[in-house]
Amino acid sequence: MYDREVFLYNLCDELETDIGQNHLGPAFSAIRLLSGKIKEVTGTTIYKSDGSPCLSEEETLERWREHFISALNHLVCRQMSLTMKQHQPQ
């Protein structure tokens, strides 16, 4: 609960500052956030290698793991890694 109170206090402080400086865009955004009229943004759907969507957090994490293993084990990345190791001071 403490984090929420700090967040709301800071948001209200920013709102007061924005209104005082006639920055109405950020002020109205803060008012909409405080009133609950802004809906939470949902994340982008992550797809498995077979094209089907990931349905759980575990599937999403596994897909990211597959992605980075593939990207970072690419031949160019391995060559760069070897080159960097050769140029490190001993």
DSSP the chain: -HHHHHHHHHHHHHHHHHHHTT-HHHHHHHHHHHHT-SPPPPPPPPB-TTSPBP-SHHHHHHHHHHHHHHHHTSHHHHHHHHHHHHTS--
Give the pLDDT band (50/70/90) at residue 40. low
The model carries a pTM of 0.40
Q: What pLDDT, on a 0 to 100 scale, did the predictor assign at position 85?
A: 73
Task: Kindly state the average pLDDT of the residues 36-49.
Answer: 77
Looking at the chain, the whole-number percentage of residues with pLDDT higher than 90 is 28
Question: Given a cut of 80, is residue 90 above it in pLDDT?
Answer: no
